[in-house]
């Protein structure tokens, strides 16, 4: 029955508009300077307590307003859960520091644990895209044992090096073979905007990093598909801020939609970019192994 309610609510949910049977409200969680914004969805019916779910959004301008996140949260609430989506402000600015996300998860878990309308026994954590590794790390934290009863992640990565390589070249390993899929350029824009100028020898490429962050921001604000020709005018717009000597480097990450990055330069730069990410934010990647028995189902 809950699955049916989830499906029917998903089908009729329109993010940004009220959904019958679901109450959506903005709340502040935490206290003082540590407080952050969050979006809460709960069933309109007053029966309680309800199962608690916490959803962590990825590195995206809309944050809790992302269409897929909002629709998932509303559908879960329609199926009978209380759902909290904490805002990670830094990620909405496309800054990939994982620490604010872990803080947001802990505040959300604590808030749900104090809500009399949420069933005791812990919440289910959901991590999507860039948010999934931090969700798994939080779920494995011994300090949160008993506060998390389940964890779900999808659309994510394990190896930063493999992810950057795929984002630049489309290449990935599958069953002993190198395969290819056309990557979504948005990911490489965001990663390079954070770490390109941190590669030794690329310190003068900070204008490229800034331009790529602006490009990714425009894509998020306007809802453009980053691999389609509709993105090309935005590329030209931000390219004007890049010094002439760095424009070839910008085009590696943001060629016109009909072209892919130069494979030679892409393969050369991918491991350097991944290493700069690791050096700047070591918590970007999951550990090679998590303690046995720590993760909930």
pLDDT for 132? 92
- For residue 63, being part of any structural domain is answered with yes
DSSP string, the chain: -HHHHHHHHHHH--TTS--TTEEEEEEEES-GGG-EEEEEEEESS----B-EEEEE--S-TTGGG-HHHHHHHHHHHHTT-EEEEE--HHHHTT---SHHHHHHHHHHHHHHHH-TTB-SS-EEEEEEGGGHHHHHHHHT-GGGTTTEEEEEEES--S-HHHHHHHHHH-EEEETTEEEE-PPPHHHHHHHHHHHGGGSTT-GGGHHHHHHHHHHHHHHHHHT--TTSGGGHHHHHHHHTTS-GGGHHHHHHHS--TT----HHHHHHHHHHHHHHHHHH-GGGS--S---TTTS--
**Which of 154, 188, 212 is a domain's end point?**
154
Same structural domain for residues 80 and 102? yes
Task: Count how many domains the chain has.
Answer: 2
Q: How confident is the model at residue 13 (pLDDT cuts 50, 70, 90)?
A: low
Are residues 203 and 263 both part of a single domain? yes
Section 66-72 average pLDDT: 91
Q: Is the pLDDT of residue 188 over 80?
A: yes
Task: Name which of 82-91, 218-227, 247-256, 281-290 the model is least confident about.
Answer: 281-290
Given a cut of 80, whether residue 285 has pLDDT beyond it is yes
**Residues 169 and 99 occupy one common structural domain:** no
Quote the mean pLDDT of the chain: 91
- pLDDT tens digits along 123-137: 999 999 999 999 999
Q: In this structure, is residue 38 part of a structural domain?
A: yes
Average pLDDT of the segment spanning 233-245: 97
Domain stops at, among 154, 175, 196: 154
My answer on whether 187 and 271 are in the same domain is yes
Query: Is it the case that residue 245 has pLDDT exceeding 60?
Result: yes
CATH number, domain containing residue 63: 3.40.50.1820
* Confidence band for 227, pLDDT divided at 50, 70 and 90: confident
Tens-place pLDDT, residues 20-65? 889 999 999 999 999 999 999 999 988 889 999 999 999 999 999 9
Residue 55 sits in the same domain as residue 90: yes
> Do both 51 and 21 map to the same domain?
yes
Which two tokens mark 218?
């425009």
pLDDT of residue 239: 98
154, 179, 201: which is the final residue of a domain? 154
Domain annotation covers residue 141: yes
Is position 294 within any domain? no
Q: DSSP string covering 56-82, please?
A: E--S-TTGGG-HHHHHHHHHHHHTT-E
288 belongs to a structural domain:
no
Q: Is 292 inside a domain boundary? A: no
Q: Which domain holds residue 99?
A: 2-154
Whether residue 116 sits in one domain with residue 195:
no
User: Is residue 296 included in any domain, yes or no?
Assistant: no
């Amino acid at each position: 029955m809950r699955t049916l309610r989830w499906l029917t609510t998903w089908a009729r949910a329109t993010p940004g508009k009220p959904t019958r049977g679901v109450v959506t409200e903005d709340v502040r969680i935490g206290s003082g300077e540590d407080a952050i914004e969050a979006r809460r969805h709960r069933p309109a019916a007053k029966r309680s307590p309800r199962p608690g779910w916490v959803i962590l959004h990825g590195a995206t301008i809309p944050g809790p307003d992302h269409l897929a996140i909002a629709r998932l949260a509303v559908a879960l609430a329609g199926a009978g859960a209380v759902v909290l989506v904490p805002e990670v402000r830094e990620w909405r600015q496309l800054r990939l520091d994982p620490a604010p996300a872990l803080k947001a998860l802990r505040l959300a878990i604590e808030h749900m644990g104090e809500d009399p309308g949420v069933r005791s026994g812990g919440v289910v954590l959901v991590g999507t895209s860039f948010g999934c590794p931090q969700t798994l790390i939080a779920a494995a934290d011994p300090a949160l044992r008993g506060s998390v009863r389940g964890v779900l992640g999808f659309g994510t990565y394990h190896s930063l090096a493999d992810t950057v390589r795929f984002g630049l070249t489309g290449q990935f390993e599958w069953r002993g073979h190198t395969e290819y899929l056309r990557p979504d350029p948005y990911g490489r824009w965001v990663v390079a905007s954070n770490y390109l100028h941190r590669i030794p020898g690329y310190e003068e490429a900070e204008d490229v990093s800034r331009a790529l962050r602006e490009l990714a921001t425009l894509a998020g604000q306007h809802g453009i598909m980053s691999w389609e020709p509709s993105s090309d005018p935005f590329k030209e717009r931000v390219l004007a801020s890049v010094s002439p000597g760095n424009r070839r480097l910008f085009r590696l990450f943001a060629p016109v939609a009909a072209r892919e990055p130069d494979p030679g330069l892409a393969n050369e730069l991918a491991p350097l970019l991944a290493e700069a990410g690791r050096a700047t934010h070591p918590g970007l990647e999951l550990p090679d192994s998590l303690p046995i028995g720590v993760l909930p189902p």
